[in-house]
Amino acid sequence: MSSADEACGEGTAKDRMKEEYRKYTFRKVLFMLACIVCLVILFGYSLTLGSHEIDFFTVFTTLWDHITGVSYDIGTPEWTNDFLVWEDRLPREVIAIIAGVGLAIGGAAMQSVVKNPLADPYTTGISSGAVLGVTAALALGITAGSISGNYGIVANAFLFGMIPTVVTILVSRISKTSPATIILAGVAMSYLFNAMSTLILISSEAGKIQEAFLWQIGTLQWTTWDDFPMMFIIVAVGSVVLAFTSKQLNILTMGDESAKSLGLNADNYRLMVLVVLSLMTSAVVSFIGIIGFLGLVSPHIVRMIIGSDNKYVIPAAAIFGALFLLTADLIARTVIEPGELPVGVVMSFIGGPMFLILILKSKKGVW
Amino acid sequence: MERTLFKSMYYKSVSRKVIFAVVCVVIAFIALGLQLSFGYYDVGFVESYQILWDHICGNFPDTDIGLKKDHIIWDLRLPRSLAGMAVGAGLGVCGAAMQSTLKNPLADPYTTGISAGAGLGATISIVLGVCLIPGIVGQPSIVIDAFVFALIPSLVIIAFSSIRRKVTSSMMILIGIAVMYVFTAMTTFLKLTASEDSLQDVYMWSVGTLGKANWDNVWFMILATIFGMVLFIMLARRINVMITSDTSAVSLGVDPKRCRLLVLVIVSIVTAFLVSFTGTIGFVGLVAPHMVRIIIGSDNRYLIPASAAFGAMMLICSDVIARNIGTGLPVGVITACIGGPVFLYLLVRQRKSVW
């Protein structure tokens, strides 16, 4: 065989590889694009809903006009539309998207870091810490820095939510930073904090239990623009950091030894991811309460559809999480009139069966 | 020469494990005495053992005060203590078996959704007043509903396994999670429609208590626990093989899918019995096996019985404290408050990883 033929053979092999790789990424990108399109449509649609119906395109023109700084006279229909869309409905949708992104990325990162399909953003005990903070604020009136009212609850949830994470990190630093240690320390802290909340709740009256329970199940009902800045900044920074280090996350799932030989300091990287995702989760939880299921299941669903390469799982989980929470919230507020269902309940009702079907259909194990 | 050295090393390591289990049993026995002697009516520590022994031998006291003490010890206090030991041992064993077969340190007896099922059953009974067997109201209705619903998640997993040929442990976990969330959502939905008072009842049920134990129901718990312990001790070698990997298990003559399902069924039955009478007592099932693992290693032949002993000890000691600190304090809270820091300490001190 001549050398020219050989080169030609190599060329086709290379082309074939390229072709395969393109196919491999195409599916993943397609999935993300589909999710984004759904998200935009749903976002617009949910802005049209409410006591005063505004049609789909008016919503987007109103949004655009607001952004470009068009102002209206008070009392005109345009002004009403602008007010309803911008002040009344938009905060809720935006915060649903931020929360969905934050929790789903948190879940995907946590599952990869501790290499456990049972892990979710709350694994290091954030939720139990936040619950204790809120319970303390509601039942005993103890707030961090004695900030009163709603902000006291938010501050308490955030600060108490970080305590179990800090302890977990300290324990794993002193002992060893293996995934099992992180998980177990998180479990111990969760139980400890839950026990303390229980202690407080048992000694308080029935009304307080109900209040604390309502906070725990999480809702987007009371969101305003005031909640936006802190949540947005923390989630945005965290997401960017995790998305850019997703390659290292892939290396980490191969095991600490391989990670080391590939030049990654596994222990330090793991702790960095833990800190980032805990801050994100805490920021989300302290404003809207504990929304379960999303952080655990969205990464799994995404993995079943596009495989477990974190380079794609992280962004795809983020988009899917936002879509999932927005859909669930839309159903939660429209299915019963008047009033609404807790979004967590809706999510479990739709997500649970969907998840079961996906498990049944998935051809290969992704774990 | 080398052989004797090996032998003595082996005996040393085995005796360490056995000593650990024996120490746990002894502590549990002492705690039993404390548990029996404390209360509104104080009975002496040694005296309480004496009364127990006499009752078992059939020597009933003939004085009024003696009869009264016998009644207090045997009828009022002993059921609760026995329930504590049975629940602790049962949850400890089930937790150890579940963690080993699913190869997951986060697994506990409730992982496959048993607690969510039982919680839904109890909530249906408390909030809606509906019992699956018509005509039964009150406490028995809660027990029946909780028991039946607790078994549903495992049935779903078994149904799935019959459809799919290959069922990995993570798949079982994920199915359990899906069912668990659906059940929890239903429970939450019911709770939202509930009045403040029934919500409090549901909350109290979910926290778990040993206070409802009496001679009518403690038998179920004891028998369920013994059933689980015997079967899991028999299965321990197989579970050990399963830890390696599914392929190695097959080549060593163990069918991993069948073995996993078997463990799941046993855990579900035992846990459903325990949970339906006491509510979801957490922490013991998850943490007791881990503590035992850190202390004696993860060979299931020793881990399973030692987890039973340790779990029983943990729960009865916590119950002694719970009963003496204040009235109505749930035992799970005490277990977590004391067990949590101890567990963290053990984690910090552990020398080698057991997972």
End-to-end CA distance of chain B: 34
pLDDT at B32 over 50: yes
Average pLDDT score, chain B: 87
Tokens of B71: 């009644």
- B-chain residues near A174 (CB < 8 A): 348
Average pLDDT score, chain A: 85
Question: If pLDDT is split at 50, 70 and 90, which confidence band does A367 have?
Answer: low
How far CA B130 is from CA of B113, B133, B196, in Å, comes to 22, 9, 18
CA distance A30 to B23: 61
The CATH classification of domain B2-102+209-349, taken from the options 1.10.3470.10, 3.40.50.1220, 3.40.50.1100, 3.40.50.300: 1.10.3470.10
Task: Please answer yes or no on whether B207 and A187 come within 8 Å at the CB atom.
Answer: no
Q: What is the CATH number of domain A100-361?
A: 1.10.3470.10
Question: Closest approach of chain B CAs to the CA of A190, in angstroms?
Answer: 9
For chain A, the structural domain boundaries read: 100-361
DSSP A157-196: HHHHHHHHHHHHHHHHHHS---HHHHHHHHHHHHHHHHHH
In three state form, how does the secondary structure of A208-225 look?
HHHHHHHHHHCCCCCCCH
Contact A149, A138 (CB under 8 A): no
- B-chain residues near A189 (CB < 8 A): 340, 344
pLDDT at A1: 43
A183 vs B106, B182, B197: nearest CB? B106
- Structure ipTM: 0.79
pLDDT at B24: 92
Within 10 Å of residue B39's Cβ, how many Cβ atoms? 14
Pick from B302, B314, B281, B300: which is nearest to B146 by CA?
Answer: B281
pLDDT at A22 over 90: no
pLDDT at B96 over 80: yes
Kindly give, in sequence order, each residue whose CB lies less than 8 Å from that of residue A7, ignoring residues fewer than 6 positions away: none
> Three-state DSSP class for A120?
coil
Question: Which of B166, B197, B200 would best serve as a mutation to test chain A binding (most A beta carbons within 10 A)?
Answer: B200
Task: Please answer yes or no on whether B179 and A352 come within 8 Å at the CB atom.
Answer: yes
Name the residue with tokens 């008047």. Answer: A338
Task: Please answer yes or no on whether B343 and A184 come within 8 Å at the CB atom.
Answer: yes
Task: Please answer yes or no on whether A356 and B179 come within 8 Å at the CB atom.
Answer: yes
Report pLDDT digits (tens) over A349-359. Answer: 888 888 888 87
Pick from B209, B210, B223, B214: which is nearest to B75 by CA?
Answer: B214
pLDDT at A196 over 50: yes
Question: If pLDDT is split at 50, 70 and 90, which confidence band does B193 have?
Answer: confident
